[in-house]
Amino acid sequence: MGSSLTAVSFSDPHRRRHHVYGCSSHAIPFVLIPKILKECHLLPKLDRTLLTTYLRPEWPRAILLALLLFVGIGLQLANPQIARTFIDRAQAGAPFERLVSIALLFIGVALLTLAASVTETYVAEDLGWRTTNALRADLTRHVLDLDASFHAEHVTGELIERIDGDVAAIADFFARFVVQVLGSGVFLLGVLVLLARENWRIGALLTTFTLVALAFMTQGGGFVGVRARALRQASADLIGYLDESLAGLPDLKTSGADAYVMRRLLQYLAARFHRVQAAVMAGSLFNAVVGLLLVLGTGAGLGLSTTLHRTGAITLGTIYLVFRYTSMLRQPLERLTREMNSFQQASGGIARVRELLATRARVVDGPGAPFPSDALSVELDSVSFAYEAEPVLRSVSFRVEPGEVLGLLGRTGSGKTTISRLLFRLHDPTEGVIYVGGTDLRDARLDALRARVGLVTQDVQLFQGTLRDNVALWDRTVPDARLAEAFAELGLDEWLYGLPDGLDTQLGPGGRGLSAGEAQLVALARVFLKDPGLVILDEASSRLDPATERLLERAVTRLLHGRTGVVIAHRLHTVERADRILILEDGRVAEFGPRADLLRDPQSRFARLLRAGMTEELA
What average pLDDT score do residues 192-198 get?
Answer: 82
Task: Label residue 178 by pLDDT band (50, 70, 90).
Answer: low
Q: Looking at the domain assignment, is residue 373 inside a domain?
A: no
pTM higher than 0.85: no
Q: Which of 129-138, 248-257, 385-394, 472-481 has the lowest mean pLDDT?
A: 248-257
pLDDT at 395: 94
- What is the H or E stretch that residue 396 is in? strand 390-400
Q: Looking at the domain assignment, is residue 523 inside a domain?
A: yes
Count the residues in the chain.
Answer: 619
Half-sphere exposure of 308 (CA within 13 A, CB side): 20
Cβ pair 304, 263 in contact under 8 A: no
pLDDT at 591: 93
**Count: domains in the chain:** 2
CATH number, domain with residue 544: 3.40.50.300
Half-sphere exposure of 553 (CA within 13 A, CB side): 14
Mean pLDDT of the chain: 79
Instruction: Say yes or no: 291 and 412 in one domain.
Output: no
Beta bridge partners of 399: 379
Residue type, 372: P
Instruction: Say yes or no: 347 and 423 in one domain.
Output: no
Domain end among 328, 358, 388: 358
| SS3 annotation, 256-299 | CCHHHHHHHHHHHHHHHHHHHHHHHHHHHHHHHHHHHHHHHHHH
Domain end among 358, 390, 417: 358
pLDDT higher than 80, residue 513: no
Task: Label residue 377 by pLDDT band (50, 70, 90).
Answer: very high
pLDDT higher than 80, residue 554: yes
pLDDT higher than 70, residue 22: no
Beta bridge partners of 449: none
Q: Looking at the domain assignment, is residue 508 inside a domain?
A: yes
- What is the H or E stretch that residue 177 is in? helix 171-198
- What is the H or E stretch that residue 10 is in? strand 6-12
pLDDT at 199: 79
pLDDT at 500: 83
Q: Which residues of 349-363 are buried (b: 16+ CB within 10 A; e: fewer)?
A: bbbbbbebbeeeeeb
Task: Label residue 254 by pLDDT band (50, 70, 90).
Answer: low
Instruction: Say yes or no: 333 and 383 in one domain.
Output: no
Instruction: Determine whether 253 is exposed, middle or buried from the number of CB atoms within 10 Å of its CB (0-12, 13-18, 19+).
Output: exposed
Q: Looking at the domain assignment, is residue 370 inside a domain?
A: no
CATH number, domain with residue 113: 1.20.1560.10
What average pLDDT score do residues 46-69 get?
Answer: 74
Which residues have CB under 8 Å from 454's CB, separation 6+? 527, 528, 530, 532, 534, 535, 536
pLDDT higher than 70, residue 200: yes
- What is the H or E stretch that residue 423 is in? helix 416-423
Task: Label residue 583 by pLDDT band (50, 70, 90).
Answer: very high
For CA atoms 590, 450, 554, 399, give the dihedral sign: negative
Task: Label residue 49 by pLDDT band (50, 70, 90).
Answer: low
Instruction: Express the helix, strand and coil content of the chain in percent, nearest 5 each.
Output: 65, 15, 25
Instruction: Say yes or no: 158 and 284 in one domain.
Output: yes
Supply φ then ψ for residue 42, to 5 degrees.
Answer: -80, -35
Cα 218 from Cα 346, distance rounded (Å): 16
pLDDT at 470: 87
Rounded to the nearest 10 degrees, the angle between the axes of helix 316-328 and helix 330-358 is: 20
Instruction: Say yes or no: 214 and 91 in one domain.
Output: yes
pLDDT at 215: 75
Task: Label residue 614 by pLDDT band (50, 70, 90).
Answer: low
pLDDT at 598: 92
Q: What is the DSSP letter of 561?
A: T
Highest mean pLDDT among 180-184, 209-213, 482-486: 482-486
pLDDT at 371: 92
Instruction: Say yes or no: 483 and 534 in one domain.
Output: yes
Task: Label residue 542 by pLDDT band (50, 70, 90).
Answer: low
pLDDT digits (tens, 9 = 90+) for 61-119: 888 888 888 888 888 888 888 888 888 788 778 888 888 888 899 899 999 989 988 99
pLDDT digits (tens, 9 = 90+) for 427-480: 899 999 999 999 999 999 998 998 999 988 877 888 888 888 888 888 888 888
Q: Which residue has the higher pLDDT, 554 or 298?
A: 554
Our CA angle for 57, 61, 63, nearest 5°, is: 100
pLDDT higher than 60, residue 184: yes
What average pLDDT score do residues 368-379 get?
Answer: 92
What average pLDDT score do residues 559-565 get?
Answer: 92
Q: Looking at the domain assignment, is residue 49 inside a domain?
A: no
Q: Looking at the domain assignment, is residue 8 inside a domain?
A: no
Range of the domain at 586: 378-617
State CA 384 to chain mean position distance. Answer: 33
Instruction: Say yes or no: 101 and 147 in one domain.
Output: yes
Q: Which of 27-36, 106-115, 161-170 has the lowest mean pLDDT?
A: 27-36
Q: Output the CA–CA distances (angstroms, integers) from residue 486 to 42, 468, 470, 548, in the order listed.
A: 54, 12, 14, 18
pLDDT at 44: 33
- Candidates 377, 384, 369, 460; CA nearest to 415 is 384
Q: Which residue has the higher pLDDT, 420 or 131?
A: 420
Task: Label residue 618 by pLDDT band (50, 70, 90).
Answer: low
The bridge status of strand 390-400 relative to strand 378-387 is antiparallel
Which residues have CB under 8 Å from 140's CB, separation 6+? 163
pLDDT higher than 90, residue 565: yes
pLDDT digits (tens, 9 = 90+) for 300-325: 877 877 777 787 777 777 777 777 87
Q: Which of 110-119, 130-139, 422-431 has the lowest mean pLDDT?
A: 130-139
Instruction: Say yes or no: 73 and 212 in one domain.
Output: yes
What average pLDDT score do residues 599-615 get?
Answer: 82
3-state secondary structure of 216: helix
Alpha-helical segments (H) within 530-583: 546-560, 572-575
Instruction: Say yes or no: 285 and 407 in one domain.
Output: no
Instruction: Say yes or no: 438 and 300 in one domain.
Output: no
Domain end among 303, 329, 358: 358
Cβ pair 589, 595 in contact under 8 A: no
What average pLDDT score do residues 125-151 get?
Answer: 83
Cβ pair 501, 524 in contact under 8 A: no
Q: Looking at the domain assignment, is residue 457 inside a domain?
A: yes
Instruction: Say yes or no: 416 and 560 in one domain.
Output: yes
Instruction: Say yes or no: 180 and 65 in one domain.
Output: yes
pLDDT at 39: 36
Task: Label residue 616 by pLDDT band (50, 70, 90).
Answer: very low
Task: Label residue 414 by pLDDT band (50, 70, 90).
Answer: confident
Highest mean pLDDT among 12-26, 120-134, 204-218: 120-134
Which residues have CB under 8 Å from 256's CB, separation 6+? none
pLDDT at 226: 78
Instruction: Give the end-to-end CA distance of the chain in Å, rounded to a whole number.
Output: 62
Q: Looking at the domain assignment, is residue 42 inside a domain?
A: no
Cβ pair 465, 507 in contact under 8 A: yes
What average pLDDT score do residues 533-552 get?
Answer: 77
